[in-house]
């Protein structure tokens, strides 16, 4: 009996280990970058009295930092 053809989502998930590791490293680096940019944008928003925007940007920063840490991404040291 023939195997059913893989769906497009299954085909995307099946990556060689080296490529999968590289994709995870890229995602971790991107999460770190997003955390850094969110931090800077939050400071700009706070300086312009955009409290809610600053709040949501800080939420994005925290989430990106958590995801970067989980994936083993680089830690960005910020001056506060």
- Sort residue 49 into left (φ over 0), alpha (ψ -120 to 50) or beta: left
CA distance 76 to 17: 27
**0.85 exceeded by the pTM?**
no
Query: What tokens does 49 get?
Result: 């009295």
Residue 78 clears pLDDT 80, i.e. is over it: no
Q: List pLDDT tens digits, range 16-52.
A: 666 667 777 888 999 999 999 999 999 999 999 999 9
CA distance 80 to 73: 21
Banded model confidence at residue 10, pLDDT cuts 50, 70, 90 = low
C-alpha torsion 57→23→11→1, nearest 10: -130
């Amino acid at each position: 009996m023939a195997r059913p053809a893989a769906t497009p989502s299954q085909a995307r998930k099946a990556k060689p280990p080296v490529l999968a590791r590289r994709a995870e490293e890229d995602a971790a680096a991107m999460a770190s970058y997003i955390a850094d940019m969110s931090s800077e944008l939050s400071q700009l928003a706070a300086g312009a009295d955009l409290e809610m925007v600053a709040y949501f940007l800080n939420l994005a920063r925290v989430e990106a930092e958590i995801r970067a840490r989980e994936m083993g991404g680089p830690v960005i040291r910020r001056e506060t």
